[in-house]
Amino acid sequence: MRVAVVDKERCKPEKCDLVCIRFCPMVRTRREAIRVGDDGKAYVAEMICSGCGICVRKCPFDALRIVNLPDELKTDHTHRFGPNAFTLYRLPTLKKGSVVGLLGRNGIGKSTILRILSGELVPNLGNYMEPPTKEGVEENYAGQPTYDYLDALYGGRMQVVHKPQYVDRIPKIVKGTVGEVLKRLDQRGVMEQVAKDLELEHLMDRPLDVLSGGELQRVAIATAVLRDAKVYLFDEPSSHLDIYQRTKAARVIRGLVDAEKMVVAAEHDLAVLDYMSDDVFLLYGEPDVYGIVSHIHTVREGINIYINGYIPDENIRFRETPIVFHDKPPNIDRTRARSLLQWTELKKRYGGFSLDVEAGKIGVGEVVGILGMNGIGKTTFIKMLAGVEQPDEGAVNNPTLKVSYKPQYISGSSVPGTVEQVLRKAAGEKYGEQWFTAEVVEPLHVRRMLERDVKVLSGGELQRVAIAECLSRDSDIYLLDEPSAYLDVEERLAVARAIRRITKMRGVTAFVVEHDIVTQDFIADKLMVFTGEAGISGHAGQPLSLEDGMNTFLEQMGVTFRRDADTKRPRVNKPGSRLDREQKETRRYYYSG
């Protein structure tokens, strides 16, 4: 379908004789042509508009252009799972000596692509009733680079390593300790260095079935990196990892690149994807319905295209509005703001672990981001604010405040009822009101799930429902622990936007524990930085401004960020680059300018 996009600021109908309609060879009456709605757009039937471009050239005010909306293709079928089931169109082309990223929403085909590239799934080219043989698949791509790849793959001349998305399944398939597994798979003779880079040295004697999600993720990355292959495929390598571990994992993955190797990574963390990729393919379409692979773009161009929601070289708009980042840290004057929450110096002990928190306070309407590695007390601090845990020393001064808490780990198996019943119970009389639909139901994309039982939801769906439930409650303080887990880029930023809007609108406060730097930058007014040694000790400073907090945190990581000139999103500087050196010299790790 095509859409005529009208720029309402440029369009001047009182001075125009509607030449865009008069000169259109496909239109005979105004009724057939362009009807501008309140949103400034007019939808044109595909049989009427041919996208010939005449209206664009003829508009004297340059107010009208024709763009394509995503729709299923007539050709380029790669794989269809069954009747009325998900269909993938096109495949990315891999490049030797580079890391290729896959960027798109959940349920859009990224994991399917990796399974096809690994040889685990033979594409049926859309014919699920009578799927072709491997030879037939190769013939379909004759004359294309994909032919050479599939010919080597199916002929056994190319070794491919695939790190899957769901690492929690690994202990069910692989037995033994971490050290035994790594030693068994160390085909490149780099086990000691990889174990050091991924911080696995203290886990070598532990069985796989006792590891946490983050530990399993690092082991999975290590087992892939240790093997000697031509192609390495990574499905969401940053999930379950804290921000320190994400950066180290990205460095290890980039370290695979040489003149002969090809690396592909599907990733939702934009900062990590930007850091480790050279080029990206975008995936667009309708989640769980169909997905289309775009042409290749450089990593900066591709991520910016994804943020803007428009692919210029294909004239495709897959999102109505671009995602907008602020171009500098919010300079919020809260000196006169009413203090909503205060706490004295807090101390908490758990066996051999100790947490110390500096005294602090937060005013109304502020979103406080919490940054730090796993295992140093971030969740413990959140629980003390929520009243779930009591400090051994000090106090949280919120005796009359109502707190809404979304925990880090959520499970739908123990929650009875449908999504609608859960949200109706949390929202009370507000459920069904227009603002509730506009600020919670629509932004978090839970409308289609309202009639479904909570216990059958996927990880990403359950996460969105848990966030919606938390924000539905009438509370003074919202505490959200890792809300972006299992969410794609658009969902993460939609959640961040919803948290900010509700916090500002209600004049309340939110604390958000988050490892995604881009999401944290998008959401936070202030930051609390946690330092320490995982599992042994943690220290939390007082809330800092976004800029000061980011500088403090990134200096500890040894990583510098800059703003993209076009989209204003945070970008990681390549280690040792001119900007990286200059910003480290001036101690401006967050960004310059």
pLDDT 10s digits, 71-119: 778 889 999 999 888 999 999 999 899 999 999 999 999 999 999 999 9
- Contact status, residue 21 vs residue 44, Cβ threshold 8 Å: no
| Degrees to nearest 5, angle at CA 387 with 383 and 393 | 85
- Picking from 11, 62, 64, the residue whose alpha carbon sits closest to that of residue 33 is 64
Cα–Cα distance for residue pair 465/421, rounded to 1 Å: 11
Structure tokens at 441: 């139901």
Residues 6+ apart with CB under 8 A from 202: none
Cβ-Cβ contacts under 8 Å for 79 (sequence gap 6 or more): 87, 88, 112, 116, 121, 123, 124, 125, 126
pLDDT in tens, the chain (593 residues): 555 555 656 667 666 766 565 556 555 444 444 444 444 444 444 445 555 555 655 666 666 666 666 677 888 999 999 988 899 999 999 989 999 999 999 999 999 999 999 999 999 999 999 999 999 999 999 999 999 999 999 999 999 999 998 888 888 888 999 999 999 999 999 999 999 999 999 999 999 988 888 899 999 999 999 999 999 999 999 988 888 899 899 999 999 988 789 999 999 999 999 999 999 999 999 888 899 999 999 999 999 999 999 999 998 888 878 888 876 555 455 445 577 788 999 999 988 899 999 999 888 889 999 998 888 898 889 888 888 889 999 998 866 778 899 988 787 767 888 999 999 999 998 898 888 888 899 889 898 889 999 988 888 889 999 999 999 999 988 999 889 888 898 889 889 999 999 998 888 899 999 988 888 988 999 999 999 988 899 999 999 998 899 999 988 888 898 888 888 888 888 888 898 999 999 989 887 55
Rounded distance, CA 360 to CA 237, Å?
35
User: What is the maximum alpha-carbon separation in the chain?
Assistant: 80
Cβ-based neighbour number of residue 332 at 10 Å: 14
DSSP string, 68-96: EPP---SS-EEEE-STT--EEE--PPP-T
Q: How far apart are CA 148 and CA 151, in angstroms?
A: 5
> Is there a contact between 476 and 401 (Cβ–Cβ < 8 Å)?
yes
Interatomic CA distance for residues 344 and 396, integer angstroms = 7
Going along the chain from its start, the domains and CATH numbers come out as 2-68 (3.30.70.20), 339-543 (3.40.50.300), 558-593 (no CATH)
Question: Strand, helix or coil at 43?
Answer: strand
As a whole number of angstroms, the distance between CA 496 and CA 441 comes to 14
* Residue 129 DSSP label: S
CA angle 219, 115, 196 (to 5 degrees): 15
Q: Which pair of tokens denotes residue 418?
A: 């449908």
What is the SS3 assignment for 6?
Answer: strand
Place of tokens 């859409």: 3
Contact between 376 and 532 (Cβ < 8 Å): yes
Strands 87-89 and 570-572: unpaired
Interhelix angle 419-427/459-472, nearest 10 degrees: 20
Residue by residue, DSSP assigns 339-359 as: EEEEE--EEEEETTEEEEE--
Give the C-alpha separation, 440 to 494, whole Å: 10
Q: Locate tokens 């379409």: which residue?
A: 285
Count the neighbouring beta carbons within 10 Å of the beta carbon of residue 169: 11
Q: Are 88 and 290 in contact (CB under 8 A)?
A: yes
Main-chain dihedrals φ then ψ at residue 285, nearest 5 degrees: 140, -140
Q: Report the distance separating Cα 521 and Cα 492, nearest Å.
A: 12
